Amino acid sequence: MVKSDYSIGILQYIPFFYVIWSDDLLSASEISVVKKTIEQDSALEPDEKEQLSLWLDRENPPADEELKHWKHTITNSNVKLIESDTYPLASLSQRLGNLYCDSCDFNDHLKHIEINLGIQPNHYNHLFDVEVIHHKTSDFYNAKVLDAILKGPHAKAVDEFRGFLNQPIFHWDVRRNKEDFRGKVLEQVQLLGTNGYGAMAYDSEYGGIGNMPAYGAIFEHLMFVDGSLAVKFGVQFGLFGGSIQKLGTKKHHDQYLANTGKAKLLGCFAMTETGHGSNVRGIKTTATYHKKSDSIIIHTPGQNDNKEYIGNALHSTMASVFAQLIVDGKNEGVHAILVPVRDKNHTVLEGITIEDNGYKLGLNGVDNGKIWFNQVKVPRENLLDKYGEIRDDGSYFSAIKNPNKRFFTMLGTLVGGRICVAKGAVGGAKMALSIAVKHALNRRQFNDSVKVQEDLIMDYPTHQLRLTPAIASAYVYHVTLEEMMKRYSDNSQPDKRKIETQVAGLKSIITWFANDTIQECREACGGKGYLLENRIANLKGDVDIFTTFEGDNNVLLQLAAKGVLSDFKAEFNSAGFTSVLKLLRSQLADKLSTINPIYSNKVDKEHLYNPKFHKHAFNYRTRRLTYTLAMRIRSYIKKGIPSYQAFLKVQTHLLALGKAYSVELAYTIFNEFCASVTDEKHKVLLEKLGTLYALHHIYNDTGWYLEQGYISGTKSKAIRQRVERLSTELRPHIEVLVDGFGIPEHCMTAPIAK
């Protein structure tokens, strides 16, 4: 037995106090956890309690000399710190105590502090000069449980599909020549089709199981194989097949859908034109009904009115062509028509010109092309006529009288594709994050001369900060998109307009998130991330265009923002608008009443981690942006500025609202989802991810919140510190978190991820 300057009671608390004070990060509520524990610790003498309490005064912290003395006490003990202990710090304290005392009981209260304060070895192991038994990762949580939570109802379909992907044909390789690459991807698509995966969203009579959400889940998995495969698969079964399924009627289904699902009939989705990317309503291709021959003439009027970037254009025998339908001299708006483009020998049909789009930044396994039509005649039946038909007497009929509404109804049925794009983007981000994390758990760089080994780069705070919030976001967005897919596929809710608005915004923020994340992962892997063999480079090139296709993000965000405005039935120029503004103002006033100096200065952990705070902050931002936007537009219109110009003037404001609305929506969905998780242990972990997501996003907009006086400077700093601390706190679990994404091992081919 050795002698110590401190009594045994106090001694056991020393490691804790050293950790607490060397970082000076504890909030009032955390201090009170420690205080309470000390008060309830019956093993302590009254004077010990008093001494320990004195050391908990934030106004009057222990002197530096005291801290140094604590440190020497720990260092000189030669006690080891074992990261794999269930309570590493409490166990260190115990062993420290045992040095000075032969038969002391272990102070169980310390475990309570360790758990409640979320103190992790990587918070403090570097503070001690004792030997640290390092562990790259903790097994406190279980990746399989997380994976099961994320798979949700699709567990069976997903597990089967993961097994199916374990075939040589799906093995990833560098493919530079586009013809070879496209050939390979075509084979893969055909194999998937033959095995029923293409038709999953179709009804059983067409080879499917009528399960769009399960289709979405397997679609995401294709990103783990290859981006080109995912996109070509989506074009064939989702876009081409989807247009037949959603815009066509039984005659089309019976004739085409089964073969489409099997990839026996290859088709493309010819909507975008060179001159008209985002403005679908303005496309120039015409489909003119010719009564005499009872046929429709498809025509490209000008050189720049060709269809462009059409995926599957070089392999297809049929195209679903979007064109202005003209019946009896009247333009009935955009409709889709099935147009055969090649014969059985794969020769392009007369009147049709198809050109290869050539090499692209990514997705070179997808055959994108341009298509021109020169007076191409197809039978009347080829019109996909669910929402607008040409009757036997040659007249046009639609149950939806308003052409505007008809157009948006037709486009709205295709929203599933947009959800899939966002799902694919999340898949790409998950893959890049898994690779970057596994690399960072192997790679060492620089070191403390005292230590034998260089540090793992995953142990750098900057590295934790660049990867961990992104992992949290990937969880949040996965859950959000699953929910959107569920709502979209719910046939009891036929009006999909609200979902369309929501998906427009979510697709934008999620595809941007994926691009930023993949870029961050590339840089986090240094030169290794630049080599194609490590996969991140291809993900980067492939996911890049996700911000543009299926709707340019900037255009979609404006759509989302306008949806928010019209949710309030804001009819500009009318009396109704004023009452809407009044409503908004009173809602804001309610919210503002809570934003007193006490609220805007509240920096306590309890408060900052409380979902109520996050929801309030997100909701305040959305409402406030809506209100000020509506006010600005009204003011312009009152001055006589036309509505189109007024909207142009508030474009950046619209983008901000679109983003704010989407972030709030994602957080809300995730939060509700967490409440439904039954595994209590992993629920806590998911909630922590939600908190990180929320604080990270609030901090991203901290300038705005500060401008509004919603938070104070002190609170802004506290939020930043909490984001950093949560990222560090999750460090021991980071491998479990990425393993929870469930990416099959046979897809993780990157050498640096081994």
In whole angstroms, the minimum distance from the beta carbon of 510 to a copy of itself comes to 15
In this structure, are residues 65 and 137 in contact, taking their beta carbons and an 8 Å threshold?
A: no
Is residue 552 a contact residue for a copy of itself (CB under 8 A)?
yes
Q: Are 236 and 222 in contact (CB under 8 A)?
A: no
Segment 708 to 747, residues that bind a copy of itself, using CB under 8 A: 708-709, 713, 716-717, 724
Are the beta carbons of 751 and 724 closer than 8 angstroms?
A: no
Q: Binders of a copy of itself among 388-427, rule CB under 8 A?
A: none
Kindly tell me which of 87 and 647 has the beta carbon lying closer to a copy of itself.
Answer: 647
| Distance of closest approach, residue 69 Cβ to a copy of itself, in angstroms | 9
Q: In the complex with a copy of itself, which residue's Cβ is closer, 28 or 174?
A: 174
Minimal distance, residue 166 CB to a copy of itself, in Å: 25
Residue 378: count of CB within 10 angstroms of its CB: 18
324: Cβ contacts below 8 Å, ≥ 6 apart: 283, 284, 285, 286, 287, 331, 332, 333, 334
Interface residue with a copy of itself, options 153, 302, 379, 703 (CB under 8 A): 703
Find the binding residues for a copy of itself in span 653-672 (CB under 8 A): 655
Are 189 and 263 in contact by the 8 Å Cβ rule? The answer is yes
Contact segment (CB under 8 A) with a copy of itself among 317-325, 460-468, 573-581, 604-612 equals 460-468
Question: Residue 59 or residue 707: which is nearer to a copy of itself going by CB?
Answer: 707
Within 79-118, which residues bind a copy of itself (CB under 8 A)?
A: none
CA angle 68, 70, 73 (to 5 degrees): 110
Least distance in Å: CB of 645 to a copy of itself? Answer: 5
Closer by beta carbon to a copy of itself, 118 or else 275: 275
Q: Would you say 112 or 522 has its CB closer to a copy of itself?
A: 522
Q: How long, in residues, is the chain? A: 754
Binds a copy of itself by CB under 8 A, chosen from 641, 668, 687, 749:
641
By CB under 8 A, tell whether 176 contacts a copy of itself.
yes
- Pairwise CA distance, residues 125 & 691, whole Å: 25
Helix (H) / strand (E) element for 422: namely: helix 415-440
Which region among 150-158, 272-280, 376-384, 414-422 touches a copy of itself (by CB under 8 A)? 272-280
Q: Is 276 in the site for a copy of itself (CB under 8 A)?
A: yes
Q: Which range, of 85-93, 142-150, 559-567, 704-712, touches a copy of itself by CB under 8 A?
A: 704-712
**Do the beta carbons of residue 455 and residue 446 sit within 8 Å?**
yes
Quick one: which of 738, 305, 266, 311 has its CA closest to 545? 311
d(CA 6, CA 56): 17
- Spell out, one character per residue from 299 to 318, where the chain touches a copy of itself: x when CB under 8 A holds, - when not: ---------xx---------
| The one-letter amino acid at 425 | A
Contact call for residues 214 and 156 (beta carbons, < 8 A):
no
**Residue 338, φ and ψ in degrees, nearest 5:** -80, 125
Residue from 1, 2, 3, 24 that binds a copy of itself (CB under 8 A)? 24
Binds a copy of itself by CB under 8 A, chosen from 12, 137, 228, 547: 547
Q: Residue 408: which of 547, 291, 566 has the closest Cα?
A: 566
Nearer to a copy of itself, 21 or 237 (CB): 21
- Alpha carbon distance 418, 203 (integer Å): 21
> Tokens 């941007």 — which residue?
512
Structure tokens belonging to residue 496: 């999909």
Q: Which is nearer to a copy of itself, 57 or 523 (CB)?
A: 523
- Please count the other Cβ atoms lying within 10 Å of the Cβ belonging to residue 173: 10
Query: Which lies closer to a copy of itself via its Cβ, residue 51 or residue 628?
Result: 628
445 lines the binding site for a copy of itself (CB under 8 A): yes
Nearest residue (CB) to a copy of itself, 500 versus 724: 724
User: Is position 554 an interface residue for a copy of itself (rule: CB under 8 A)?
Assistant: yes
| Binding status of residue 441 toward a copy of itself by CB under 8 A | no
Q: How far is CA 81 from the centre of its chain?
A: 38
Give first-to-last CA distance, the chain, whole Å: 47
Q: Binding a copy of itself by CB under 8 A: which of 172, 269, 549, 667?
A: 549
Catalytic positions: 550
36-44, 62-70, 432-440, 596-604 -> range binding a copy of itself (CB under 8 A): 62-70
**Interface with a copy of itself, residue 22, by CB under 8 A:** yes
268, β-bridge pairs: 319
Find the helix packing angle between 575-594 and 611-638, rounded to 10°: 150
Contact call for residue 130 and a copy of itself (CB under 8 A): no
H helices of 595-642, where?
A: 597-600, 605-608, 611-638
Looking at residues 329 to 388 of the shown chain, list those that interact with a copy of itself (rule: CB under 8 A).
Answer: 357-362
Which positions from 503 through 542 interact with a copy of itself, judged by CB under 8 A? 515, 519, 522-523, 526-527, 529-533, 537, 540-541
- Please tell me whether residue 72 binds a copy of itself under the rule CB under 8 A: yes
User: What's the CA gap between 221 and 165, in Å, rounded?
Assistant: 9
Q: State in angstroms the smallest separation of the CB of 555 from a copy of itself.
A: 8
For residue 353, the surrounding DSSP H or E stretch is: strand 352-356
Instruction: Give the C-alpha separation, 135 to 740, whole Å.
Output: 19
Of positions 649, 672, 681, 745, contacts a copy of itself by CB under 8 A: 649
Judged by beta carbon, residue 111 or residue 653, the one nearer a copy of itself is 653
